[in-house]
Amino acid sequence: MTWLYVRGIIARPESPTVGRRWFGTRSAIQLVIAMNDTHESNDGAQGEPTGNGVNRRWFLGSAATTAAVGLAGCTNTDDGGDGSDGSDGDGGDGTDGGDGSSGGDGGSSDPLLIGGLFPTSGPYASAGQGMRQAFELAVGRFEDGVGGREIETIVRDTATAPDTAVNEATSLINEEGIDLIVGGFSSSVCLVLQDLAGREEIPYFAGGGSTLKANGESCNAHSYYAYASGWQFSGAGVTAYERDILDSLFFIQADYAGGEGVYEGVTSVMESETDADMMGRVLAPLGADDYSTQISKARDSGADAVWAATVGADSIKLVKQAVSAGLTDEMEILVGVVGNSVGEALSDEELGSIYGGANFYWTAEGSGDFSDEFRNDVGNPPEWWAASAFDATMEALTAVDENDGSVANADIRPYIEEREFSWSRPDTSWRSCDHRAVQPYYLLEGNPSGSDSGEYWSIIDDTGGEAIMRSCENTGCGL
Amino acid sequence: MSLAANILEGIIYGASLGMLYVLVALGLTLIFGLMEVVNFAHGAFVTLGAYLGISFLDLTGNFWLSMVLAGVVVGVLGLAIERTLIRRLYGEEPIYQLLLTFGLALLLEGAVILTYGQDNQLLSAPALLQGSPVPVGPATVPQYRVFLILFTGVLVAGIWLAIQRTKLGLIVKAGIEDRERAQMIGVRLSRVNMLIMAVGAGLAAVSGFLSGPLLGVSPQLGTGLLIVSFVIVVIGGLGNIRGTIISGLMIGILFSLTSFFYPSLANPVIYVAMAVVLLVRPEGLFGGVGS
């Protein structure tokens, strides 16, 4: 009877409105809802299949999958920016430190085969592309080969995922027979690559991971980091103190392992090198969309400056929200790691309100040749990750060249450990106790008028040397 | 600042964030409720809206016009996608929809990257809303956040009223309640589907554009908002519009307050809340389908 009634309604259309022509009559629709209320079928709510079989359970499954993918993405996000995540990479156990006397085909006349591992897809594809371009620039400087050997390269994509990176590297070693590895972006990726390099006894020159673990308990003799660790970010704080920009410091720290290392390093160095007061810290969830409570706590801290131990997109969000909340009217903000990728996402007002730290900036004295070459080739100024990939590649190839084509770590290691270099950064040297570069760390000031020239930051000054590094005795490395 | 002021700030700031989530989640829940499609491309609409808005802003110099244009263009794109692609899969196995919408998401995100690059883009609040923060009781709130709450509040209220008080809304509710039965009595859901897809995509685009001054604009913008929106839709009840609005606000405020007291738990607490709701009220806090 009900359905007959329904049919009756449909058979008696009301006035020919556009709505009815398109969709049907109001009373018919109301009836559907009324019927549903009366004969509650609970289709979606109880997980019963509806129509094509899409139901609540299906939606929940999809949502869970999305969340899992998203959380994985967040984890990668954590790695990015300064690459100082450090997460849970299995690293090494110290046993593979040794002197790396084996491995490689020292003195061979075969082509030198280099494996380049960069995140050319995924959330850090931009960084990966820059690293790859810098890698190719460096290789291009050795047109005549190294130590009598031609150079061949194979580049693989890590997607900023440790498992992908280790699979690709293993394939390069076992199937392609590469002689050395360059690259890796994010601490977790670098840690697994250096562990693999140690086990396979192949030299590894890292491209972008600032974790302390790499040169601490997970270090090995085959791995080399040609750029600053998270501890060295403190150089920007020391300079800011010396320039009377800050006397006291409050931390807004991204809640991840690398952030902890930065906090530990900056507070330790500031306490030993300055009289600045450390006024505490507040953690911020990684990838957070909202920093209001952190901004409130910073405001209440009594400090005259905030250190933002955040990276990439998180730094952008934090600065935008802090400036919008008027925090920069009350205190200075120093973002631990910046570059053009952060600067170009900030307005003139936001940029003009903050300071930043960097282990490389393209306008720095000593970066000229590399920066000019990169700009001519790529069109944009290089970021720090490109500079790190460039330095890593240059050091690797120089070492092979100077050792008559040998890639044996027994030859490369003593040579590297004595070296000073200035490929993209001035006054850099290797520290033999942990294979980390000793180099200046810059304090930058936002440059609101520089967006046209790509000079989003102006260099104020730098602080470098071992004073801003963890002492060899405290690294736990034991090389 | 007193604890009370901090809590008040957390609530207000969380509400502003929550309203952005609501805009995204509303489209998601309407599309699922009516079309039974889990639209993984919804996050790409968010991203696309932000980037197109920036382009329109460059062209017109007008924030508001750019927001509208971004919403309209992405809405039309959503409509076209529904007409040309998604409609072919109605009644098919859900896995095909998943593959299609996931593929669309990758395609749209790739198009954004090809066009604009991987780098973060600048999108600032309009000059009108860049002044000093305004006092709200013992708290101070940036003008843009106040605007977000008011503007999105009006927008969401408009959608709510449209669904409650208009014939079209009635049709949407009927379709959500029982798609097959509605079709059996002559309701032409295919056209409603088209409209809802357009509205959902347009809302996502507006949300993306409005998020820019707060969150920055990157190719990953939409992915982050989509994940939280899934949680909101589940907590509010699938296809439940009222539930989506309330749970969106709740999630925003919950995140903000947890971030103040226990920052390490701020991200997980959202998923814990979803798990608890699923255990206690599997149909969502506000029931299953409905208003």
Q: Is A402 inside any structural domain?
A: yes
The segments of chain A whose pLDDT lies below 70 read 1-108, 257
Q: Is A301 inside any structural domain?
A: yes
Residues A291 and A354 reside in one and the same domain: yes
Domain range enclosing A269:
232-358
pLDDT greater than 60 at residue B86: yes
CATH number of the structural domain spanning residue A165: 3.40.50.2300
Q: What does the pLDDT read at residue B239?
A: 81
- Summarised one tens digit per residue, pLDDT across range B222-265 is 988 999 999 999 999 888 888 999 999 999 999 988 888 888 78
Q: Is A195 inside any structural domain?
A: yes
Residues A125 and A206 reside in one and the same domain: yes
Q: How many separate domains does chain B show?
A: 1
Q: What does the pLDDT read at residue A277?
A: 94
Residues A345 and A390 reside in one and the same domain: no
**Cβ-based contacts of A43 with chain B (< 8 Å):** 178, 288-289
Residues A370 and A221 reside in one and the same domain: yes
CATH number of the structural domain spanning residue B20: 1.10.3470
Using the 3D structure, point to which of A358, A382, A398 is the last residue of a domain. Answer: A358
- Summarised one tens digit per residue, pLDDT across range B93-115 is 888 888 999 999 999 999 999 99
Q: Is A293 inside any structural domain?
A: yes
Q: Is B174 inside any structural domain?
A: yes
DSSP codes joined into one string, A136-205: HHHHHT-TT-BTTB-EEEEEEE-TT-HHHHHHHHHHIIIII--SEEEEEESHHHHHHHHHHHHHHT--EE
- Summarised one tens digit per residue, pLDDT across range B124-149 is 899 888 888 888 888 888 899 999 99
Please give the structure tokens belonging to residue B69. 């244009």
Domain range enclosing B110:
3-280
pLDDT greater than 50 at residue B219: yes
Residues A242 and A348 reside in one and the same domain: yes
Q: What does the pLDDT read at residue A73?
A: 42
Residues A353 and A236 reside in one and the same domain: yes
pLDDT greater than 60 at residue B35: yes
Average pLDDT of chain B to the nearest whole number: 89
Report ipTM (2 d.p.): 0.71
Residues A374 and A354 reside in one and the same domain: no
Best residue in B121, B230, B240, B251 for a mutation probing chain A (most A CBs within 10 Å): B230
CA-CA distances (angstroms) from residue A19 to A243, B124, B169?
70, 40, 11
Q: Is B117 inside any structural domain?
A: yes
Q: In the 8-state DSSP scheme, what is residue B133?
A: P
**Cβ-based contacts of B219 with chain A (< 8 Å):** 123
Kindly report the nearest CA distance between residue A463 and chain B, in angstroms: 29
Query: Does A24 contact B226 at a Cβ distance shorter than 8 Å?
Result: no
Kindly report the nearest CA distance between residue A134 and chain B, in angstroms: 17
- Summarised one tens digit per residue, pLDDT across range A197-250 is 999 999 999 988 788 888 888 899 999 999 999 999 999 999 999 999 999 999
Q: How many separate domains does chain A show?
A: 3
Q: What does the pLDDT read at residue A54?
A: 54
Section B60-73 average pLDDT: 96
**Cβ-based contacts of A53 with chain B (< 8 Å):** 93-94
Q: Is A471 inside any structural domain?
A: no
Residues A169 and A268 reside in one and the same domain: no
Put simply, whether the predicted model's pTM sits higher than 0.95 gets the answer: no
Distance of CA A180 to the CA centre of its chain: 23
Q: Is A383 inside any structural domain?
A: yes
Q: Is B285 inside any structural domain?
A: no
- Which of A341, A317, A375, A382 has the alpha carbon at shortest distance from A123? A341
Q: Is A91 inside any structural domain?
A: no
Q: What does the pLDDT read at residue A103?
A: 44
Best residue in B215, B233, B271, B279 for a mutation probing chain A (most A CBs within 10 Å): B215
Q: Is A239 inside any structural domain?
A: yes
Q: What does the pLDDT read at residue A363?
A: 93
Q: Is B221 inside any structural domain?
A: yes
Closest residue in B to A63 (Cα) is: B230
